[in-house]
Amino acid sequence: MNLAVDDFVYDPFGKEEMRNPLPFYEILREHHPVYYIEAYDTFVLSRFQDVWDFLTVGDNAFVTNEGSVINRADLLKHNDGATSDPPTAPFLGTHLAFGAPVYEQVRQAHTRQLRPGSVRKLEPFVRSLVRGRLDQLLPKGRFDLVHEFGGIISVSTICHLFHIPADQAGELLDTINAVTATDEEGHGFARDPRLQKKMLEFIRPLVAARREDGPDGSWNLVDGMIDLRVEGRELSDLEIAANLTCVLVGGTETLPKVIGHGLWELARDPEQLAEVRDNLEVNAAAAVEEMLRYCGPAQWFGRTARVEVEVAGRVVEPGQRVIYLAQAANRDPREFHDADRFIWNREIPRTLAFGRGQHFCVGVHLARLEARVIVEEFLSAVAEYEIDATEAVRSPSSFQWGYSHLPVVITGVAE
């Protein structure tokens, strides 16, 4: 696609942008690094350093009380001043909509199980999952890397963390995929309350049972939330379930797209693939970092200014929004040499793959572990493979622009 610079217009919800945002990102970085969208009263950041600096701004100067992925209808409504956090009672919605201190209180209450030491203990479980899934899929000779392989691994790991019965993994994956699916206009995250309720019901009964048994701290993901008090009030089972869906969805939806796409990039370049295979125990982790940079499906996140702040030389007033384009920043040539190429062993001294600052991804350690093990085990078991590009599906989307289906054809297995 060739875009004219002089009459350039960018809208994350535009049809061409949702079909392929990458050409727009190039022009934004080079000619409009701080782009203002008047219709949304929103600034757009596209360069790595600007995003990096923006995400370090603290003291509740920027908040997510309108959401970190703000829908178009809300963006069209301009704020007259600073926005307020929602009330904490009688029902505490997702903590993602709060600034400090509520956001940090809820986050800290359930994330101990996702810290490095706890995650390292999961490696034998994850490796067993991957090997077992490959034993089922490889004899078929063809399967979907995203849904049948990576998706099942991710959701089964999440089921393990949440104590959800393993036989519900497939149903949970289908529910999460339905909730986050792109609609006919290319917008993600379905608002169907029935789907939202179904997702919550995977968690709520388990919280209720744990409360009845008595939390002892051994299941921190839930025990910490049961013990939590927000402004002196304990949370209901439904409130806890609502606040844990970020782990449920985040731990299931994104990683399969990254790894599926990353394995395709390696298949396109036999020389790089051979180099990774040469020492998988060492090289898989490096390849995963490049997959996270190059193949990340989440395109942008937003914040709303609570006070007047200068961002990349522009003054942002209270109530105005700032969107940062994560995938534009990840391909910024100022940060990465030959940024539009997949290079498995490139140096990545700084990464935005998991965000930065207050909302840094709580699942970073689990995602890296799962990704590394999946790459190691797949390339150990599969001698030769190719992606059926004619059947690959990457639907237009304003947010999660990633491959939802990637059929792989196994042409040789390891002896």
What would the pLDDT profile of 103-162 be if each residue is shown by its tens digit? 999 999 999 999 999 999 999 999 999 999 999 999 999 999 999 999 999 999 999 999
Asked if CATH classification 1.10.630.10 holds for the domain at 15-413, the reply, yes or no, is yes
Q: Tell me what the mean pLDDT of segment 32-37 comes to.
A: 98
Average pLDDT, the chain: 94
- Give the whole-angstrom CA distance, residue 405 versus residue 335: 30
Q: Tell me what the mean pLDDT of segment 100-104 comes to.
A: 94
pLDDT given for residue 151 in this prediction? 97
pLDDT digits (tens, 9 = 90+) for 176-229: 988 887 655 555 555 678 898 999 999 999 999 999 999 999 999 999 999 999
Q: What does the block give as tokens for 305? A: 């200014």
Listed residue (299, 223, 294) closest to 264, CA to CA: 294
pLDDT digits (tens, 9 = 90+) for 6-15: 789 999 999 9
Relative to beta strand 382-387, strand 407-413 is antiparallel
pLDDT band at 404 (very low <50, low <70, confident <90, very high): very high
What are φ and ψ of residue 348, in 5° steps? -130, 80
pLDDT digits (tens, 9 = 90+) for 166-177: 999 999 999 998
pLDDT digits (tens, 9 = 90+) for 307-332: 999 999 999 999 999 999 999 999 99
Q: Are 246 and 135 in contact (CB under 8 A)?
A: no
Work out the end-to-end distance of the chain between its first and last CA atoms, rounded to an integer number of angstroms: 44
pLDDT digits (tens, 9 = 90+) for 348-397: 999 999 999 999 999 999 999 999 999 999 999 999 999 999 999 999 99
- Give the whole-angstrom CA distance, residue 202 versus residue 169: 10
Per-residue pLDDT at 293 exceeds 90: yes
- Please state, in angstroms and as integers, the Cα–Cα distance from residue 181 to each residue in 123, 173, 241, 273, 280, following that order: 30, 12, 21, 31, 34
- Give the whole-angstrom CA distance, residue 374 versus residue 357: 28
Q: So where are the chain's domains?
A: 15-413
**pTM for this entry:** 0.95
- Give the whole-angstrom CA distance, residue 46 versus residue 29: 5
pLDDT digits (tens, 9 = 90+) for 76-92: 999 999 999 999 999 99
Any idea how long the chain is?
415
